[in-house]
Every structure is written in C-alpha cells, then in structure tokens.
Amino acid sequence: MGRWSDARGQATSEYVALVLLVAVVLALAAGLTSGGIGGQVLAGLQRGLCTVSGTACPRVEPPGPDLAPCPVERTTRRESLDGAVDFLDLGSSGTLTTVRGSDGRVTVSLVDGSAVRAEAGLGLHVSVGGRAGGEVTADLGASFASGRSWTLPSAAEARAFVDRYGSKATIGGKAVDELRSGCSILCDAVGWRPHAELPPPDETYTAQGGLADLKVPLIVATAEASGGALVGARTRRDGSSTWFLQLDVAYGLRAVLGDDALTAGRQRQAVVSYSLDAQGHPSQLVIHAVTRTGGRVTLAGSRGGLSGKLGGGGQLVTELDGTLDLHDAQNRAAADAFVKALKDPLATGELRRRAAALHERIADAGIVDRRTYAMTSSSFGLGAKLAVGAQLGADFERQQEGMRLVSAETRLPGLPFLPRDDCRTA
C-alpha cells in the first residue's frame, strides 16, 4: 500500500510539473504572437504532437502581420557605358530592380549611376618561381547614384509598370529621353512623343562614395580585389527617412585560358542603416550583411580594335539582418554610441568596442533574419579602342541577375532561429 502511495505521489508531482511546463510554453507562445512568430511556435508544437499521436494535423496558419515579409525573388538588370581617355575612365549606368515579397507586393527601383576612375601602375612587378608575372595596377575613383522606387500591390501590376517604364533604366532609353526632351516641339510635330512621365515615387534614393580596385598578375591568373564605400539616404513619401553607410569588398582569382576566363571568389557587403520616423525621431537600426560565393565563366574575343564577351555563372547568397527597435532607451543608447564612433573611423579601438556592444545588444534584444538565395547571372559586353594621339575606348555591358529564396529563418530575443514557413511557401 505504501508503495502504491509513493507511486501515486510521484505521478501527481510529474503531472503538476507537466501542467506547469505546458502553461509556461503556452504563455510564452502567446507573448510571442505580438511579434508575429507565435503562430509558428504553436505550429511547431502541434506538428510534434501530431507526429507522436499519428493523427493528421490541420493546415498551418500563416504568421501574424507584425512579422516583416521576406524578399522572395529579386531580379536585377543593369546596363553600363564606360568611356576611357588614356588612364581616365568615365562611366554611366542604369539599373532596374524588382523585389517580390512574401506578402505578394513587388518593389520596382530605377537607379541612375555615374563613376569616374583613374588607373595607375604602382611600380611593382610580381614574379613567381622566377617566371615573369607583370605590373601591379590600381584603380581609384568616385561614384554617384540616385534612384526612385515604387511598391506595387501585385506581380501583375509590377510587370505592367516595368513594361511601361523599364526602358528608362537602359542606356538607350536614357539617350532617347534626352533627345526627346531637347526637341519637344519638333518631335511632337513628327509624332515622336516622349516617354510617359513616371508617377510620384514612394521612395527616393541618393548616394555617393569612393571605390578602389587592385590587380596582381600571376603566371596563369590574376589576383583581383576591389572595395567601395557609399554614404546615402532614402526618403519616403510619408516623411520618414533612412541614412546608411554601405561597404563592399570582393576578392578572387581570374584565370585566362585562351579566349576564355574563369573567375572564382567571394563578395561581402555590410550596410548600417539608421531610420527616422516622419517626426524625425529615431525608429530602428539595421545591420545588413551579405556574402556571395561561387564562380562565373567569361568567353571573350577581339579583332582589331573591337572586342566582345559573354559571361554567366551561379552563386549562393546569404543575407543576415539584425534589427534594433530604437524606441527602447537601451537599444537607442547602443545605436547612438556606434553611429557616433563611425564618424571617427581612425579611432579603431573605440569603434571596435562600440561595435561589440551593439552586436551584444542585437543578440540580447534584437530581431535577426537569415535568408539564403540561389543566384544566377549572365552578362554581355562590347568594346572598341582607337589610338589617335591618345588612347580612346568605349565599353558597353549588360548584366542580369536572378535570385530565388532557398531558406528563411527569424530569431526573436530568447529564442533559437525558427523557420519562416510563410516565406518558403510564398
């Protein structure tokens, strides 16, 4: 009898513990619902119970609207025209980007860019194993960009928008617009109407910065490294704005095999964004990091002063976003200290300390999104060179990239990464 009482007492205590555990889990899940991911926590528990019991689970409901949608697909089309006079390069570009979110909306962006570069030999020669390599060269320059974006409610409306206005992001379309703007009366008389005016944008974008390239020739390949920094701002129609600092680094090897070239390397990008609401109050800070790995093959040929090339390849792209809500006093203090340290980049010790404190704050109180994309790219280029006292040249290139979401996860404070089923099914 005593043994039965002990067993019954043990069962009762285990039952109470189980009830308390379930209550804590449900309370935690209910608290997470305001962040938009509580539904996924409950869905995960539900799937586990269905697996153990062998019963069919009901359909998983999508997460709440408070959780930001994922970029599911991204396509980029870019055209550039570069002109060279001796060691000086001048370039102009137009870029059309469409991004489809998991909520079905599509953002279309048109960006105009320009750059000036100067190439110089560094007076260094490289040889490997006694075999001649070549001279180390470097490019230094400045870049400028301005753009506009529109958010459309569906993919169909986005396609119609691109069909109507997409040519404004091409070199030919920009040239035609310039010609038409200069002959409005004559063009109207012959029926050559200007392109339709763009509607007011939902967001405008401006940026400027510097860039640098380094090339070190080896025996059968060239080691290449490039870097750039941009400072800019995005302003939205509701009066809110975002100031950002963008850093880009790429490095790799380019091997030339006859008329073909194989490029393999890695690209990294880091963006610090500081957003203000319509009243000018800090609203959020985002650290955005991107890593690209993979390679591409380029087929090139030349005859006389003319040249052409075709390229393509695939890459794996990983994006990581850490977001801090600046309405919280501690979050804002950590963000403000880091932004202040960025104003004096030569004080590396202070910058490292502030960056470490910000990283810790994001780990403790921030929202972290992690996404992986499969990317394919292709390019086409034509060039010409002419020597008339000075070396003259021009290069046209068209590039296209397509990115498709492979996986997406979100981590809220105190939780591990949880899969974003809404993004994968979108």
The candidate with the shortest Cα–Cα distance to 366, out of 337, 343, 335, is: 335
DSSP one-letter string for 136-170: EEEEEEEEEEEEEEEEESSHHHHHHHHHHHGGGGS
Phi-psi region of 40 (alpha: psi -120 to 50; beta: other; left: phi over 0): alpha
Domain locations along the chain: 2-53, 71-425
Predicted confidence pLDDT, tens digits, the chain (426 residues): 444 344 444 555 555 555 555 555 444 444 444 344 444 455 555 555 555 555 665 554 444 446 789 999 999 999 988 877 666 678 888 999 999 999 999 999 999 998 887 766 555 555 545 555 567 777 888 899 999 999 999 999 999 999 988 888 887 777 777 766 666 666 666 666 655 678 999 999 999 998 888 887 776 677 888 888 889 999 999 999 999 989 888 877 777 665 566 676 778 899 989 999 999 999 999 999 999 887 777 777 777 778 788 888 888 999 999 999 999 999 999 999 988 887 776 778 888 898 889 889 998 899 999 999 999 999 988 888 766 555 677 888 899 999 999 999 998 887 888 898 888 887
Distance CA(117)–CA(212), nearest Å, equals 9
pTM here? Answer: 0.76
Identify the helix (H) or strand (E) that includes residue 23.
Answer: helix 2-32
Distances (CA, A) of 107 to 156, 159, 161, 233, 387: 12, 11, 10, 18, 45
Give the chain's radius of gyration (CA, Å).
27
Which strand (E) or helix (H) includes residue 314? strand 306-325
Cβ neighbours of residue 324 under 8 Å, at least 6 residues apart?
284, 285, 286, 331, 334, 335, 358, 361, 362, 365, 366
How far is the C-alpha of 358 from the C-alpha of 352, rounded, in Å? 10
The sign one gets for the Cα dihedral 400, 406, 412, 416 is negative
Q: Please, what is the Cα angle at 408 between 75 and 271, to 5 degrees?
A: 65
| Cβ-Cβ contacts under 8 Å for 10 (sequence gap 6 or more) | none
Q: How far apart are CA 163 and CA 93, in angstroms?
A: 19
* CB atoms near residue 418 (< 10 Å): 17
413, 364 Cβ separation under 8 angstroms: yes
How many of the other CB atoms lie within 10 Å of CB of 331? 22
